[in-house]
Amino acid sequence: MASEHPPISAPTISDVAAAAGVGRATAARTLGGYGSVSAVARERVLAAAERLGYRSNILARSMTTGVTNSLGIVVADIGNTFFSGLIRGASDAASARNLDVIVISTYEDLAAERHAVGVLLDKQVDGIVVSSAAVGAPDAEHLAEATRRGTPVVLIDRLVPGLHLDAVVVDNRAEARRVTRTLIEAGHRRIGFLWGPTTDTGIDTLDELLTVNTRSLWSDAERLRGYLDALQDAGIPYAPGLVTTGAKTEESAARAALAMLQSEDPPTALFATEAEALIGALHAVQDLGLSYPGDVSLVGFDDTSWATVMQPPLTMIAQPVDAMGRLAVEQVVSRIGSPEYEPRLHMLPAELMTRSSIGPPSRVPGAPTASAGKA
C-alpha cells in the first residue's frame, strides 16, 4: 500500500539508492557485492531493492566490466549424441559456476565455425570451447586470434596440429590401436576400417593413405593411425580395400561395408569409427544375412545405451563425454583467471565396453599363421 510512484520501467540502482536514502555508489556497492558498506546502509539498500523488485541490468554491467559470465561452445552437430553429451557435461559445469552457455553447431564447416567464433567474440563471451573442423594451424587462425585478443579457447575432442591451446581429448590413436589389437588377438587379420579419409582419388599404397590422412580431422586421423599401428605391431600388411574412402554418412558406410563383405577376400571383422558408421555396418551385415560375431566381428567408437540391447550386445569404446565437457569448461574458466601459463593438454582415457560382438574369425584367409592365435 505504498505511495512512491512505481517507475514505469524496471528500477535501476539510482531508484534503489533514492528509496534507501543513500548515494548511488553505496547502493551499487552492496548490490554489486564489491567494496565495503556499513551494515546499516547495506540493510536499507537490500530492503529497498527487495521492495522495488530490483534486478540488476547485467548488460550494463557487462558493458562496463567486460565480463559477460557466458561461455561459447561450438560443436559439429548438436544432434549427434557424442556432442550433445559433451554439451551436457559442459553446461552442467557451467551452471554450477553461474555461467551460461551459448551453443552453436557448425556441421563441420570451417566457414560456419569462423562465423560462430566471430559471433561469440562479438557477444564478448568469457571463453570458448570448440571442437574444431580445422585440420591444421593455418585453418585455425580464428582460434589463435581469439586467444591472442584475450578470449581463451579450449579445444575439445580434437586437437589442431600446430595450434598450441588448452585441449581436452581422448587418446584416439591409442584407443584405436587397442581395439584393433583386441581384434587381432581374437584371430582376425582382415579388419575393415569404416570411415577412413574421404577422397575421390583411389588409395593404393600405405604412403598415399598416410598422406591423405593428414588432411583428416585429428580424431579421425588418429583412429586410422592407431588401426595401422596395431596392424604393424602384428606384422599384418595394409590392405587397401579394407579402409573406406567414402563420405562420412551412414549410407556411405553401409555401401562400403557391403562392398568389403562381398569382395573375394572379405574382412572377418569391422571397426567402425563412429556410431553412424556402425549403424551402416550393421545394415550391411544384415542385408547380407550375416550374423555377428559369427560371420563378422564388430566394434565401434562411442558407446550408447542401445548397444546393450542389440542381440548380441555390441562391444564399444566409451568416451567419457560428460567428463570431457566438464573439464573443458573448468579449463577455460581457470584460463580466464590466469592467462599466462603453458597450454594444458588433457588426455582422458576411454573405456572398452566388452560385450559380445567380437569373436574368432569365421574363416582363415590366405595366410597360414592365422588359426594359431588362440585355440
Partner DNA sequence: CTGTTAGCGCTTTCAC
Partner DNA sequence: GTGAAAGCGCTAACAG
Q: Does 57 bind its own copies (CB under 8 A)?
A: yes
Locus of grid cell 569391422? 270
Q: What single DSSP character describes residue 30?
A: H
Q: Does 182 bind its own copies (CB under 8 A)?
A: no
Give Cα separations from 198 to 211, 353, 357 (angstroms).
12, 28, 27
CA distance 367 to 361: 13
Q: Does 183 bind DNA (CB under 7 A)?
A: no
Nearest to 272 by CA among 304, 301, 243, 239: 301
Name the residue type at position 20: A
CA distance 142 to 117: 7
Query: According to CB under 7 A, which one of 4, 6, 47, 60 is a site residue for DNA?
Result: 60
Q: Does 137 bind its own copies (CB under 8 A)?
A: no
SS3 assignment, position 245: coil
| Peptide bond preceding 320 in cis form (omega within 30 of 0) | no
Q: In whole angstroms, how close is the CB of 42 to DNA at the nearest point?
A: 7
CA distance 197 to 52: 62
Q: In whole angstroms, how close is the CB of 362 to its own copies at the nearest point?
A: 18
Query: According to CB under 7 A, which one of 4, 6, 23, 123 is a site residue for DNA?
Result: 23
Q: Does 95 bind its own copies (CB under 8 A)?
A: yes
Question: Which of its own copies, DNA, none does 257 bind, CB closer than 5 to 8 A by kind?
Answer: none
Q: Does 26 bind DNA (CB under 7 A)?
A: yes
Locus of grid cell 585355440? 375
Closer CB to its own copies, residue 68 or residue 216? 68
Give Cα separations from 264 to 77, 365, 366 (angstroms).
37, 10, 11
CA distance 243 to 226: 13
Q: In whole angstroms, how close is the CB of 68 to DNA at the nearest point?
A: 12
Query: According to CB under 7 A, which one of 19, 22, 90, 159 is a site residue for DNA?
Result: 22
- Residues 285-344 contacting its own copies, CB under 8 A: 286, 304-306, 308-311
Where does this chain bind DNA (CB under 7 A)? Answer: 9-10, 12-14, 22-26, 28-29, 31-32, 34-38, 40-42, 56-57, 60-61, 63-65
Where does this chain bind its own copies (CB under 8 A)? Answer: 55-60, 62-63, 68, 70, 77-79, 81, 84-85, 87-88, 91-92, 95, 100-105, 119, 121-124, 250, 276, 279, 282-283, 286, 304-306, 308-311
